[in-house]
């Protein structure tokens, strides 16, 4: 009874948190892949990537895990900062490590994906994670709160688009008209008769 109550109480917020985390990861992944593709146009990086794309599956998998292992000391340093009263510095180090790690893993996965998908258990794991992500997305998108939030976000986006497109120009023209007008001659009434 209590277990079922806790499950009903805790499942929706945990699903929302998990979905927000996944949305952030995907948003970061998409933008980082675009940035890393731009960086990959450099001749040195291009040659390195051509060698990496020829790796066999298991060395490619080890290479994919390497950024996480390399960033572990950085994350421990961030925890050290936070433990010694430098919380903001620690948070900034963790966020930077997260972005850099995601960038490296995203690019390496893109390069090594054909070799990696030949590993049966990794392909099954990837398919399972994609299935979980899609299930979470569908669950979140079916919630009334999600629909309201999307409607609100769309309204805010439209407001700022229309303001930027029309409103700012109209306001600027109105200010210029008011500034160019001559002020009317006003006589200040005398306080003494």
* Residue matched to tokens 């109105």: 174
For the record, the structure tokens of 128 come out as 């399972």
- One DSSP character per residue, 105-164 reads HHHHHHHHHHHHTTSHHHHHHHHHHHHHHHHHHHHHHTSHHHHHHHHHHHHHHHHHHHII
Does 68 share its domain with 163?
Answer: no
Q: How many whole angstroms separate alpha carbon 37 and alpha carbon 60?
A: 19
Does 138 share its domain with 171?
Answer: no
Q: How many whole angstroms separate alpha carbon 121 and alpha carbon 117?
A: 9
In a domain, 131, yes or no: yes
Give the percent of the chain with pLDDT over 70.
85
Least trusted range by pLDDT, from 11-25, 39-53, 97-111, 130-144: 11-25
Question: What is residue 125's predicted lDDT score, i.e. its pLDDT?
Answer: 92
Number of folded domains in the chain? 2
Per this entry, what is the length of the chain? 193
Of the pLDDT bands very low, low, confident and very high (cuts 50, 70, 90), residue 124 is very high
Does 157 share its domain with 89?
Answer: no
pLDDT at 185 over 90: no
**Residues 32/99, Cβ–Cβ less than 8 Å:** yes
**Residues 101/156, Cβ–Cβ less than 8 Å:** no
Last residue of a domain, one of 142, 162, 185: 142
In a domain, 115, yes or no: yes
Question: What is residue 63's predicted lDDT score, i.e. its pLDDT?
Answer: 87
Q: How many whole angstroms separate alpha carbon 176 and alpha carbon 40?
A: 48
Q: What is the pTM of this model?
A: 0.57
DSSP annotation of 1 = -
More confident residue, 25 or 158: 158
For the record, the structure tokens of 113 come out as 């994906």
Does 70 share its domain with 92?
Answer: yes
Does 24 share its domain with 90?
Answer: yes
Does 154 share its domain with 93?
Answer: no
The pLDDT tens digits for 66-97 are 888 888 888 888 889 889 888 898 899 888 88
Does 15 share its domain with 41?
Answer: yes
In a domain, 191, yes or no: no
Q: How many whole angstroms separate alpha carbon 16 and alpha carbon 11?
A: 9
Query: What value does the mean pLDDT of the chain take?
Result: 79
Structural domain containing residue 154: 150-177
């Amino acid at each position: 009874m209590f277990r079922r109550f806790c499950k009903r109480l805790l499942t929706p917020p945990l699903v929302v948190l998990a979905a927000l985390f996944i949305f952030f990861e995907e948003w970061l992944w998409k933008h980082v892949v675009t940035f890393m593709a731009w960086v990959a146009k450099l001749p040195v990086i291009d040659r390195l990537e051509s060698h990496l794309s020829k790796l066999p599956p298991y060395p490619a998998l080890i290479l994919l895990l390497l950024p996480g292992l390399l960033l572990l000391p950085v994350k421990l340093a961030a925890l050290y900062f936070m433990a010694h009263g430098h919380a903001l510095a620690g948070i900034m180090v963790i966020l930077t490590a997260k972005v850099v790690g995601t960038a490296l893993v995203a690019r390496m996965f893109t390069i090594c994906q054909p070799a990696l998908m030949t590993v049966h258990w990794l392909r099954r794991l990837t398919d399972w994670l994609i299935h979980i992500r899609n299930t979470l997305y569908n669950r979140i998108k079916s919630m009334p709160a999600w629909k309201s939030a999307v409607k609100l976000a769309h309204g805010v986006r439209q407001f700022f688009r229309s303001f930027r497109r029309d409103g700012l120009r109209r306001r600027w023209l109105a200010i210029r008209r008011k500034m160019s007008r001559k002020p009317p001659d006003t006589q200040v009434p005398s306080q003494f008769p």
